[in-house]
Amino acid sequence: MINLNSELSVSAQKGGSGHVWSDKWKVLIYDKASRSTVAPLLSVQGLRQLGITVYMMVDTPRQKIPDVPAVYFLKPTLENVQIVARDCNQGLYQSVHVNFSSTLPRALLEHLAEATSKGGGSQRVARLMDQYLDFVSLEPCLFTLERPLTYYNYSKDNVNEKELTTCLNEIVNGLFSVVVTLGMVPIIRAPVGGPAEMIARQLDDKLRKAMRNSKTQHLFQQDNNGTGGGGGGGSSGGSGGNGHTHSKGNGETGQEGVLRERPVMVLLDRGIDLGQVLHHTSLYQPLVDDLLDFQLNRVSFTKDDAQKSSFTLDPNVDDFWNQYGGQLFPDAVEGNTTDRSRLAKEEQQISSSGQTGDMSNIASAVASLERHMEHKKRSNDHFHLLEATMKVIVARSLHEFQPYEENIVSGRFLQSADHEKYLTLLGNPQKGTYMDKLRFCIVWISRDVNMASERPELLQNLILVMDEIALSEHKNKNIHLHIFQHVQQVQRLSGGGYAAVEHQNGRGSGLNNGGTGSGSGNGGASWSLSGLTKTMGAVLAKAKEWIPKAAPDTKITQVMSNVMLGKTDASTASLLYFDPKIGKFERKRGFFEERCGVVCGLLEIDLFSFSCFSGTKSVSLAQESRRKGSHNAGITFVVGGVTYTEYHNIKEWAKKQKPIPKNIIVGSTSMLNAENFIDELSRFSPDYNTGSMD
């Protein structure tokens, strides 16, 4: 796309790292959403190597550059179409190559044609493309649709048809883009009721129609050939374009994120496990996301010397991040120490080889020094990142909350002795913040679904403790009260879990198959609460005192693993089954109107009676028509957001499957951490104001 929708034409010039450079210079114009798509994939250097000399937001004032072509990457909105037409008519650029992230509606296409024709700019439109890139690829096996507040939008009391229709259509369009990019039409599974079912039906409908439409069936030619890896873009007024895949080698299974056989896509609602989002974790990347500013793979924090630091963490180029991002935090600290020692020895060897006087040795030393300095900078970046993360952990005593939460997740919440320990931690003003203790309470309430009915005194004690903490930190106590009520209602409506998926005292394939979960603490381990020094030795010593264990698989991993292995139990038997390649439509008007009492969030309403769901609809296949056996490729998508802990948990499970590791891609409407999800839950309270819970 950036190379003007053509194969890369290269000059003899090479970049410093051996990368080829484009011989066509151009300008990149994008909107906010499309910038999010580009940011995790291409650095500034990467854009320059592709010939991008200038990149600008579409809605900012721009000067005329008439001797270079411009690449537009935009969402198909009326505002963006009007800006493109205005730029063409004013002759800002030599030519324009317009790329839309999803399908450009016919009305907007006609508007663009009419506006450029009247203004005299139509000859500058070189190409118009539907690229089907309406998603953000964060890692080879992780994508997001960048649609925050989805859980709140479909769960709030005053949800209306227009809002729900817009929300679900955006999700369906994003998933359609993912399917086109992968080039493989999946089997679709979803639980009955709620937004996941509605999205599954709409996606099945959209894929079925696209495969049978002569104008769009070329998007799935890769699927017909039996291979995946990029179905390609479609043209709004011309020939097809190039697909896009963010991938990385993965040994014997090929490339991560590139599916070699037809996948099964499992759509799940966030209500499957609210507590997991707020669970304090022990993994490196989830801790960075939880405690620091981490957006679109870029982290920002303040170092010990009060200097601001910001850099990109890309597993495709950062081997340490790729290896340790999903590992326990103490392992990452120790790995960085080992890495720094190796680099110190390597530096001595390079220095020695350059002092021999032999020109060949000097030339080799210079070449090695460039690579060494790059690795050293990255290692130092992780050193400071680990220090910053560790500083927050110790300051807030998170190492004490995490093991207790893991005990609760594993089922240890019924004994009075455990209650006493948990309440003592919550009542200690020196341990954690109001937010940390609220998270702990939500994890506890979400697991002990009978607390209100069987242990009302305990629930009242939790509320009193949180009221006191809220008062001391000037927070509004009504907000956490509404959050508790919301979590309890969701758990009751889901039967205390998601199709009876529950953690059972260490039961779960994570303990046997190496699932990482969010880590579990050693009950006898304790950390020194003295201040951090500037030496890694002190940081490493504190980290080694924390001995988290591998945790049971998360609920999302449990459901996905059962589907992938072809198991039929309570978590999979009720899942609907759609296959866009076979099956049929249900054309009976009122088919959905007959299905009332659908649960969407807290509302028992007939969402299928909305006009956007009436008419022709897809039908779940009967048991005898379904594919039997296991799957080697899968896509997990969580409506309402997913956490990095859940991503690494399912990734670790897939990696350890025998004899061949599973290839699973994880997606969601947004990436969740505790802070933004608490803000989302707070919106259910009438007292919510600015997001600060005050």
HEC string of 536-595 equals HHHHHHHHHHCCCECCCCCHHHHHHHHHHCCCCCCCCCCCEEECCCCCCEECCCCCCCCC
Query: Residue 3's pLDDT is what?
Result: 80
Q: Which domains does the chain have, with CATH numbers?
A: 10-130 (3.40.50.2060), 147-233+256-271+557-682 (3.40.50.1910), 284-396 (3.90.830.10), 398-549 (no CATH)
CA-to-CA distance for 205 and 615, rounded, in angstroms? 12
Local confidence band at 347 (pLDDT 50, 70, 90 cut-offs): confident
Q: What is the reported pTM?
A: 0.86
Half-sphere exposure of residue 159, counting CA atoms within 13 Å on the CB side? 26
Residue 30 to residues 35, 54, 485, Cα–Cα distance (Å) = 6, 11, 42
| Residues in the chain, total | 694
Which is more confidently placed, 361 or 312?
312
Q: Are 388 and 422 in contact (CB under 8 A)?
A: no
Instruction: State the burial class of residue 637 (Cβ atoms within 10 Å of its Cβ: 0-12, 13-18, 19+).
Output: buried
Half-sphere exposure of residue 269, counting CA atoms within 13 Å on the CB side? 29
- Condensed to tens digits (0 to 9), the pLDDT of residues 14-68 reads 333 445 566 688 999 999 999 999 999 998 888 988 899 899 999 999 999 999 9
CA-to-CA distance for 646 and 151, rounded, in angstroms? 17
Residue 403 to residues 21, 389, 419, 422, Cα–Cα distance (Å) = 51, 18, 14, 11
Local confidence band at 350 (pLDDT 50, 70, 90 cut-offs): confident
- Give percent of the chain with pLDDT exceeding 70: 75
Instruction: State the burial class of residue 443 (Cβ atoms within 10 Å of its Cβ: 0-12, 13-18, 19+).
Output: buried
**Cis peptide bond N-terminal to 659, omega within 30:** yes
Local confidence band at 255 (pLDDT 50, 70, 90 cut-offs): low
The one-letter code for the residue type at 602 is: L
Phi, psi (rounded to 5 degrees) for 320? -65, -45
Residue with tokens 């998603």: 135
Residue 244 to residues 53, 103, 132, 678, Cα–Cα distance (Å) = 22, 16, 9, 34
The arithmetic mean of pLDDT across residues 135-144, rounded, is 96
Instruction: State the burial class of residue 408 (Cβ atoms within 10 Å of its Cβ: 0-12, 13-18, 19+).
Output: buried
Q: Is the pLDDT of residue 200 over 90?
A: yes
Q: Is the pLDDT of residue 625 over 80?
A: no
- Give percent of the chain with pLDDT exceeding 90: 57
Residue 246 CB contacts under 8 Å (≥ 6 apart), including other chains: 40, 41, 137, 139, 140, 143, 257, 316
Tokens of 199: 């999205």
- Condensed to tens digits (0 to 9), the pLDDT of residues 486-532 reads 999 898 777 554 434 544 433 333 333 334 444 433 333 333 323 33
DSSP-based helix, strand, coil % in the chain, nearest 5: 45, 15, 40
The arithmetic mean of pLDDT across residues 258-285, rounded, is 92
Query: Residue 266's pLDDT is what?
Result: 97
Half-sphere exposure of residue 325, counting CA atoms within 13 Å on the CB side? 19
Q: Are 248 and 315 in contact (CB under 8 A)?
A: yes
143-147, 298-302, 341-345, 575-579 — which is least confidently predicted?
341-345
Which is more confidently placed, 533 or 162?
162
Three-class DSSP category at 462: helix
